[in-house]
Structure 1
Amino acid sequence: MPNETPGARPQDAAGQQTPAARQAAAVDLLEAVRHELAAVTLPLALPGADTARQDIRQALAQLDDYILPRYRSLDAPLLAVVGGSTGAGKSTLVNGLVGHPVTRAGAIRPTTRQPILLHHPVDAEWFEDQRVLPSLSRIRGTVVADPLPAHQAGPTPDAAAITSLVLAADPAVPQGIALLDAPDVDSISDDNRRLAGQLLAAADLWIFVTTANRYADAVPWRLLLDAASRDIMVAVVLDRVPPAAEEEVSTDLRAMLTREGLGSARLFVVPEVPLDAMGMLPADAVAPLQGWLRTLAADAAGRAAIARRTLNGTVKALSGRVEAVAGAVSAQHHAAGLLAKDATGAYDDAVARILDATRDGALLRGEVLARWQDFVGTGEFFRVMEQNIGRLRDRMGAFFRGEPAPAVRVEAAIETGLQAVILDEAANAAEDADQRWRSDPAGRQLLGTDDLSGTSDGFADAIAAEIRAWQGGLMELIRTEGQGKRTQARWLSFGINGLGAALMIVVFSMTAGLTGLEIGVAGGTAVVGQRVLEAVFGEDAVRRLAKTARDDLQARCQRLLQAEQRRFLDRLDDPDPVPPTALTAHAAALGRLAAAA
């Protein structure tokens, strides 16, 4: 026995896939398409999104109700759905086709509420399970020997939405074709209209019933044009036609069908004739249509050809729908990307402004400057240090052994000033992002009535905690750098907070990378911090410490504002888990499937 590749489809002697293998491959493709369409949500309020959602609902329903069942059971009986306008005489026509009343007919509208599927008893197995129309439960009906008059026949459902399908086995229905009496396509009931569309989408064959004075109505023609796009076989029944008008009306209708791509549709004319006491048409009035259906039923090859023609046309139409959905998903991804860019851009700009404020000397004004000057001493101290900078190292010990104002006051002032800058810029970013989103319909929908134009609750406390953590990190940097420097051990022991404050001052006065000080801003006081640090650690070490401290501050600011921007980005989530490229590929595969058949 030859080896087979796992998962490979069986092939014939010529190396081609067998019909069964092709059928199985088609079912696999259709199931994959169904799975991915069901995962599409289109959450953003974009133009065309409602239409795309409707396309998805209709595509899923047609896959479940018709395409997948038919591909899985290519030899199943044809399902002929009898549909049409209100009062067109559908139920009366169905009764005439089987020769006795089985469906409800009358003057009260809507008449047909619960769909009735008539089939030959031998074909019962094809319809009793959920193979077709799986969303409708089954109710087994019975055709009695002494039927009720037409106006009393059939079930009388309540006004609730229809959730079931009545099955009735009748030997008068030819084996190989089932008849389904559908509600009016233009019913006053929304549920009836939706159900009619669902049933017609599940048909192999349409028997479309209209009248001499309603055949040009818009609603039926929309469905007929849909039939043309699916290449479905359609039989049009022109009902209740006065004999004198038959030629004129039928000629006009035939011309309309031809113009709209339905020139191959069979046209049957039922003359306007009185009904008998049971509400039945004369047998000869429906004989042409009845004979045509029996001929189709007797021709197995012809039935298969009709089923495949409708199936291929439906798959081709599905390909177009999936392609349209792919476009809608792509638009969602693009719109979500723009909204995300608006939010992240607003907060990235805020981070940049915060960093600018921490390096141009702006934070060395006001309270920070005052506390630093209190800490390092009077103006006389600076004059002495400037006059004899060479003796700085000798003076450092005395300076730190003295009792200047506590360095923690400098830290507290820095914390307060830096917190105010971050809080202000975060509020500006929130307002900017909120305005950008509200200028976009999709953004407005995502925000709804929520106001995100300010900072979140507790954000000020989060900033303070992050600044204190940054300051603590600076102290640890200084401790680590001072290890092994025995000559500075005493300075580090008594002046760790002072050295930390000096490092913060250096960080906040940098204007050009790691060099240069905004001397004018603080009247020269920032020089002290740099001189102190260089005296203890050396110039290179000060550069390294300052860079590490600045990088840490930048990372903490970014984390703070990224947490804030999540308020916007979390509303986006993933617009759709299915990439548009996957749907486009499926649409192309469906097109090839239809073309190959």
Structure 2
Amino acid sequence: MPGEHASAELLGALSGLLGNVNAAALALDVPGVVDARRVRADIATQLSDYVIPRLVQLDGPLLTVVGGSTGAGKSTLVNSLLGERITESGVLRPTTRSPVLIHHPDDAKWFAPDRILPDLPRTTVPSNDTYALRLATSTKIPRGLAILDAPDVDSIDKGNRELAAQLLAAADLWLFVTSAARYADQVPWDYLRLAAERSTSVAVVLDRTSPDAVTEVRGHLARMMTSRGLSDSPLFTVPESNVDAEGLLPAESVAPIVGWLHDLAGNPDARGKVISHTLDGSIRHIVLRSHDVADAMDAQIEISELLYTGVDEIYRQALESFTTQSTDGTLLRGEVQVRWQEFVGTGDLLRSVEEKVGRIRDRFVDGVTGKRTRSSDIVAAIETGVFNLIVEQAEKAAAAGAQSWAEAPAGKTLLAGSRDLDRASRDFRVKAERTVRDWRQAVLELVRTDGGDKRMTAKFLAFGVNGIGVALMVVMFADAVKDKDSTVALGHKLLSAIFGDDAVKALVTKAHADLDARVAALFDAEMNRFVELVGRPDDLKARQADLRESARLSEGARHADFIRGGEHSA
């Protein structure tokens, strides 16, 4: 044993491994993923149920889990080993009852809810709750030993089978019970093969075997154990016998097993070797299987890159299309064009901005007269135009993204489990309206801020922030048009007269960059609906690297604690 407590290095490494195993993304339906998910779940369960709790209490009692085939007589054997009836055997199969953990009263602290099998609720009374762990005390079991009666490994009830596997994975020692009628069955040997792979300490009990068949069956069973890597595991035989009024086997039938268990319980070194052997094998096996999970992530990353790249390109194109149409004059058609022309009037009216400040002020400002400003009409038309363009591109992108995923099996599965990915999100229109409104306010603030020393000039005062802001938006919407119509050119002339040509270019660039950034954020949020399902390839690669690194650190810490520590060599 490495000592009463494992090193902080080993505990830290395995805790990190548990976190990275749980974080290993296996969400995509690719070949082999079902097995990979099962392996991931098995690793996480064994780390949290057994390995880490055991490492923080290495001097705790030896947990012996009694498991095996249906009808092998496990419960009768457990009661007989104790010399009293504590666990009930079932007449009907599958038996539905809580697994029972029997320990000495003085060892109760070792089995508190935060210790071994922390996720199983505790009870002290018989229960039909399969997933409750019943704790029972007996003075007939020595200190340093605990016996857990588990469900049948081949039960027809799935819950019983799953719990049996979970309990066996949390054992320091398996006491595996079979019978002459069931010893060659495949399911028990699948478990025993797993025990050999993990180097789990195992003892096999051949139960309910008639005296005339003991020699033949025991010999065959011993050869099977040797061929499957269990040649060093003790093999006990319990001949078929009548039970007494308490349902107990004759004491002499189970005496060899009782003596062996009591010797382990009473010898700290022997008990420590069993625990160390199982722990070391479990950690070694966990490290190997963790690399298998990391390998399985290769297929996840490959499909993730395919699906992610598809939607990323689609939303990039959506933003590029919006950017293009917000400068190529598209937004100056229809209602916006009409309102803008009403707003500025004819070219003759504004032929000379310098000479007609008063007349321009009459058309741009009605604050003095109290009449409805035409600037509010053009602003409303502009906001509607920008909003419609954003929604149009978002809807097209969502439909295209869903279509691209539907062409890949993994993407099709993700689509089936999600709703409305082929449409923009339900609150997108509200977000788009807010985005456009906020951008319009930002344009006005840009005019105020960059107006600076121009704000008190006659031209600035004549048009006001709203009028200048409208002109700036219109000029921006036609920025990429070489042959601008007269009304757009008029807006540019107006801005140049106030700010100068270079300043106008800077204002247009800032206003357009701000709108693009806001729309990009909207489209990113829309794309994230897809990304949340598939994951970003770089994130998956980072998780894979973290998993491999934590497995490597765990293996190094295992060697430090168990190999150089001295009592067991892997």
Distance 1:228 1:362, change over 3 A: same
Checking the alignment, whether the CA contact within 8 Å between 1:62 and 1:201 is kept in structure 2 is yes
Q: What is the deviation of 1:46? A: 4.7
Q: Which residues of 2 match residues 435-514 of structure 1 at below 5 A? A: 435-436=403-404, 440=411, 443-444=414-415, 447-448=418-419, 452-453=423-424, 456-459=428-431, 461-462=433-434, 465-466=437-438, 468-469=440-441, 472-473=444-445, 476=448, 479-480=451-452, 482-483=454-455, 489=458, 491-496=459-464, 501-511=470-480
Q: What is the deviation of 1:76? A: 3.7
Q: What is the deviation of 1:208? A: 1.1
Letter in 1 for 2:93: R
Out of 77, 98, 103, which is 1:93 matched to? 77
Q: Which runs of 5+ in 1 are unaligned?
A: 1-17, 140-154, 386-391, 512-516
Q: What is the deviation of 1:495? A: 4.2
Checking the alignment, whether the CA contact within 8 Å between 1:374 and 1:404 is kept in structure 2 is no
Q: What is the deviation of 1:424? A: 2.0
Question: What do residues 481-536 of structure 1 show as CA deviations (whole Å, max 9, x unaligned)?
Answer: 73476xxx2x444345665555444323222xxxxx531x63x5544444444455
Checking the alignment, whether the CA contact within 8 Å between 2:331 and 2:386 is kept in structure 1 is yes
Checking the alignment, whether the CA contact within 8 Å between 1:83 and 1:185 is kept in structure 2 is yes
CA distance in structure 2 between the partners assigned to 1:64 and 1:394 by the alignment: 80
Q: Which residue of 1 aligns with 2:274?
A: 306
Q: Which residue of 2 aligns with 1:228?
A: 196
Question: Secondary structure at the residue paired with 1:214?
Answer: coil
Out of 168, 186, 189, which is 2:154 matched to? 186
Checking the alignment, whether the CA contact within 8 Å between 1:42 and 1:49 is kept in structure 2 is no
Question: Secondary structure at the residue paired with 1:458?
Answer: helix
Distance 1:365 1:96, change over 3 A: closer
Q: Which residue of 2 aligns with 1:592?
A: 556
Distance 1:90 1:344, change over 3 A: same
Q: What is the deviation of 1:86? A: 0.9
Q: Which residues of 2 match residues 193-592 of structure 1 at below 5 A? A: 193-275=161-243, 279-297=247-265, 299-323=267-291, 345-373=313-341, 381=348, 400=360, 408=375, 410-436=378-404, 440=411, 443-444=414-415, 447-448=418-419, 452-453=423-424, 456-459=428-431, 461-462=433-434, 465-466=437-438, 468-469=440-441, 472-473=444-445, 476=448, 479-480=451-452, 482-483=454-455, 489=458, 491-496=459-464, 501-511=470-480, 517-519=481-483, 522=485, 524-535=486-497, 537-562=499-524, 579-592=543-556
Question: What do residues 46-97 of structure 1 show as CA deviations (whole Å, max 9, x unaligned)?
Answer: 5577666655654455445433443344344433222211111223333444
Q: Which runs of 5+ in 2 are unaligned?
A: 366-372, 563-570
After superposition, the CA RMSD in angstroms is: 4.5
CA distance in structure 1 between the partners assigned to 2:522 and 2:63 by the alignment: 63
CA distance in structure 1 between the partners assigned to 2:90 and 2:42 by the alignment: 31
CA distance in structure 2 between the partners assigned to 1:287 and 1:401 by the alignment: 111
- Max Rg structure: 1
| Identity across matched positions, percent | 38
Checking the alignment, whether the CA contact within 8 Å between 1:46 and 1:441 is kept in structure 2 is no
Checking the alignment, whether the CA contact within 8 Å between 2:67 and 2:175 is kept in structure 1 is yes
Out of 30, 46, 66, which is 1:82 matched to? 66
Distance 1:421 1:219, change over 3 A: same
Letter in 1 for 2:418: L
Distance 1:356 1:237, change over 3 A: same
Q: Which residue of 2 aligns with 1:5?
A: none
Distance 1:170 1:530, change over 3 A: closer
Q: What is the deviation of 1:201? A: 2.3
CA distance in structure 2 between the partners assigned to 1:198 and 1:442 by the alignment: 30
Letter in 1 for 2:558: A
Question: What do residues 443-501 of structure 1 show as CA deviations (whole Å, max 9, x unaligned)?
Answer: 4366346774366243564355246425534653685473476xxx2x44434566555
Aligned residues: 541
